[in-house]
């Protein structure tokens, strides 16, 4: 018996054995023997006409075809083939569109991936080994327990994507390197490096906030100790938020002054709002931890070092305040959502909005959008997302079928604005008004 093969039996003359798209493809393509029409918003079990002798300590995982998911809104229900199952392989195909989908004999509908598995037996124990992660994040992919409040907030049509709304994982896990999108800091060689900043004074409360923030960021791998003789170090301090808490700020102004600017453009907000006019149903997706979902290019971390009372630290993920963070992030999001941007989806940095005339089309595109998030390891903030609204706030503007207008609270801010007493205050007021 060849150890690099496994047996496959055909149960029908029309059946076709699994094949690989290329020698190094992880998945084996599965082909239908059924001729069936899947109605809109329905699911059907489709027969592959084959059985597989999955090796011991291995299981077969049935996964969707990305092409069908993106182009036809066809998804696949979770499927596992155990080593002791020798019956016919069938695939649960889900039509998330408003049009019928025709499955034909011989159509490539899914993939089969063989994965190793340990078949250990459980034993009773009174205590588990301390790992450092402990109860932070649940599940084989690190998914935390989705709270009932989140489940209630997410419409049932998107419950297959609840992992996208994980409230904890983005905050406890450093994102992977994405070489094409990692933030590279190109400094002007003709300008001198700014001298490292001195640490800001922290009072007792600020010191507690710093230690709490430090503990979270270090344990997640977001920051690490920088060399004590670092060439640069930006100031680090806290500012008050409206809710009475403090948030950390890193002032990268001096490093921005010598950074070669990236020219990737941000979308025009006025054009996005014009495209949204006339739509009847709206949804909004806000990303969890925004910029932190991208990494700093390896070797460039020292350039964004910041100075704390405990010495210099450097971040490993992209952070706010860097002049090239917006264009890098927008470039990434434009590529991530490329399959749906021509289907009435708008994206401005970490905010995405969808708008359509019919609920069926709207749900279909939203499912494709969430699949794009999943494919790229992106998480959404459920508390800031909205679904199936007849009007919504998007980028500080209320949009609806009638058009768009300023948010009421923004109008109130302008009406209650105190008379400016210096040039800086005048510029702040004019800048706020000019946005609208």
Q: Are 382 and 284 in contact (CB under 8 A)?
A: no
What are residue 93's DSSP bridge partners? 44, 76
Window from 303-312, 349-358, 415-424 with minimum mean pLDDT: 415-424
Contacts of 7 (CB under 8 A, 6+ apart): 52, 53
Q: Using alpha carbons only, how large is the chain's radius of gyration in Å?
A: 26
Exposure string of 353-386, with b = 16+ CB inside 10 Å and e = fewer, is bbbbeeebbbbbbbbbbbbbbeebbbbbbbeebb
User: What phi and psi values does residue 328 have, to the nearest 5 degrees?
Assistant: -65, -45
Residue 434 clears pLDDT 70, i.e. is over it: no
The percentage of residues in the chain with a pLDDT greater than 70, rounded to a whole number, is 89
Task: List all residues 6 or more positions away from 243 whose beta carbon is below 8 Å from its beta carbon.
Answer: none
Q: How far apart are CA 371 and CA 113, in angstroms?
A: 19
User: If we measure between CA atoms, which residue out of 31, 156, 42, 45 comes closest to residue 99?
Assistant: 42
Residue 36 to residue 395: CA distance in whole angstroms: 44
So what's the pLDDT on residue 143? 43
Concatenated DSSP letters of 206-253: HHHHHHHHHHHHHHHTSEEEPPTT-S--EEEEEEE-TTS-EEEEE--H
Contact 236, 253 (CB under 8 A): no
pLDDT of residue 102: 93
Structure token pair of residue 4:
């690099």
pLDDT band at 139 (very low <50, low <70, confident <90, very high): very low
pLDDT of residue 338: 92
Please give the span between the terminal C-alpha atoms of the chain, in angstroms, as a whole number.
73
Which of 65 and 190 is assigned the larger pLDDT? 190
pLDDT at 189: 93
Given pLDDT bands bounded at 50, 70 and 90, which one contains residue 8? very high
Q: Say if residues 273 and 155 touch (Cβ distance below 8 Å).
A: no
Nearest Cα neighbor of 213 from 187, 168, 248 is 248
Give the C-alpha distances (Å, rounded to integers) separating 173 from 10, 193, 314, 319: 44, 32, 17, 15
> Is it the case that residue 140 has pLDDT exceeding 60?
no
Q: In whole angstroms, what is the distance from residue 327 CA to residue 254 CA?
A: 19
pLDDT digits (tens, 9 = 90+) for 87-136: 999 999 988 777 889 999 999 999 999 988 877 888 887 777 665 545 55
Alpha-carbon distance of 393 to 284, in angstroms, equals 9
The pLDDT assigned to 398 comes to 83
What is the arithmetic mean of pLDDT over 324-329?
A: 94
Task: Count how many Cα atoms sit within 13 Å of the Cα of residue 206 in the half-sphere of its side chain.
Answer: 14
For 253-310, what is each residue's pLDDT tens digit? 999 999 999 999 999 988 888 888 888 999 999 998 888 889 999 999 999 999 998 8
pLDDT at position 419:
83
**What is the pLDDT, as a whole number, of residue 91?**
92
Res 130: pLDDT: 61
What band does 142 get if pLDDT is binned at 50, 70 and 90? very low
Query: Which of 413, 382, 383, 373 lies closest to 396, judged by CA?
Result: 413
Element containing residue 9 per DSSP (H, E): strand 8-10
Distance from chain centroid for Cα 227: 32
Average pLDDT over residues 10-21: 90
Burial class (CB in 10 A: 0-12, 13-18, 19+), 233: buried
The region of weakest confidence among 92-101, 195-204, 229-238 is 92-101
d(CA 60, CA 51): 11
Contact 3, 53 (CB under 8 A): no
∠ at Cα 310 (304, 315), nearest 5°? Answer: 25
Q: Report if pTM > 0.85.
A: no
Containing 118, the helix (H) or strand (E) segment is none
pLDDT at res. 162: 86
* Pairwise pLDDT comparison (398 vs 48), residue with the higher score: 48
Place of tokens 């034993």: 123
Q: Rounded to whole angstroms, how far apart are CA atoms 91 and 389?
A: 34
Gap between the Cα atoms of 48 and 193, Å rounded: 64
- Does residue 137 register a pLDDT over 50? no
Place of tokens 């239908």: 32
Residue (of 222, 384, 366, 216) closest to 293 by Cα position: 222
Share of the chain above pLDDT 90, in %: 41
**For 57-81, what is each residue's pLDDT tens digit?**
899 999 888 778 767 778 887 688 9
- Arithmetic mean of pLDDT, 323-346: 92
The residue-averaged pLDDT of 387-395 equals 87
CA nearest to 165, candidates 318, 370, 349: 370
Q: Per-residue pLDDT tens for 206-231?
A: 888 888 888 888 887 889 999 889 99
How far is residue 131's CA from residue 219's CA, in Å, rounded to a whole number? 11
Question: What confidence score (pLDDT) does residue 141 get?
Answer: 43
């Amino acid at each position: 018996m060849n150890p690099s093969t496994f047996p496959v039996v055909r149960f029908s003359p029309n059946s076709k054995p699994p094949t690989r798209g290329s020698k190094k493809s992880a998945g084996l393509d599965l082909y239908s023997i059924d001729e069936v029409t899947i109605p809109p918003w329905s699911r059907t079990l489709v027969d592959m006409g084959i059985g597989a002798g999955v090796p011991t300590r291995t299981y077969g995982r049935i996964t969707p075809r990305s092409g069908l998911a993106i182009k036809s809104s066809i998804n696949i229900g979770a499927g596992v083939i155990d080593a002791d199952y020798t019956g016919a392989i069938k695939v649960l195909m889900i039509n998330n569109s408003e049009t019928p989908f025709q499955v034909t004999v011989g159509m490539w509908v899914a993939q089969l991936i063989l994965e190793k598995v340990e078949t250990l037996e459980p034993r009773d124990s009174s205590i588990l080994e301390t790992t450092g992660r402990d109860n932070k994040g649940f599940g084989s992919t690190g998914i935390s327990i989705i709270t009932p409040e989140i489940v209630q907030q997410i419409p049932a049509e998107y419950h297959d994507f609840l992992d996208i709304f994980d409230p904890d994982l983005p905050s406890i896990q450093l994102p992977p390197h994405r070489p094409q999108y990692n933030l590279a800091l190109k400094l002007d060689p003709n300008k001198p490096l700014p001298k490292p900043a001195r640490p800001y004074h922290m009072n007792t409360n600020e010191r507690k906030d710093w230690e709490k923030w430090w503990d979270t960021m270090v344990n997640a791998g977001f920051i690490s100790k920088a060399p004590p003789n670092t060439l640069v170090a930006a100031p680090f301090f806290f500012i008050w938020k409206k809710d009475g808490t403090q948030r950390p700020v890193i002032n990268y102004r001096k490093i921005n002054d010598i950074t070669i600017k990236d020219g990737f453009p941000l979308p025009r907000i006025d054009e996005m709002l014009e495209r949204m006019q006339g739509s009847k149903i709206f949804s909004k997706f806000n990303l969890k931890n925004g910029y932190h979902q991208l990494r700093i290019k390896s070797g460039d971390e020292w350039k964004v070092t910041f100075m704390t009372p405990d010495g210099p630290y450097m971040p490993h993920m992209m952070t706010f305040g860097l002049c090239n963070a917006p264009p890098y992030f927008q470039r990434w999001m434009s590529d991530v959502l490329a399959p749906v941007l021509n289907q009435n989806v708008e994206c401005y940095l970490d905010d995405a909005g969808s708008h359509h005339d019919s609920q069926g089309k709207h749900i279909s595109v939203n499912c494709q959008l969430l699949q794009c998030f999943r494919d790229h390891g992106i998480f959404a903030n459920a508390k800031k997302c909205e679904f199936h609204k007849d009007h919504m706030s998007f980028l500080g503007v209320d949009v609806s079928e009638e058009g768009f207008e300023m948010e009421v609270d923004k109008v109130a801010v302008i009406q209650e604005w105190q008379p400016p007493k210096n040039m800086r205050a005048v510029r702040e007021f004019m800048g706020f008004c000019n946005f609208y």
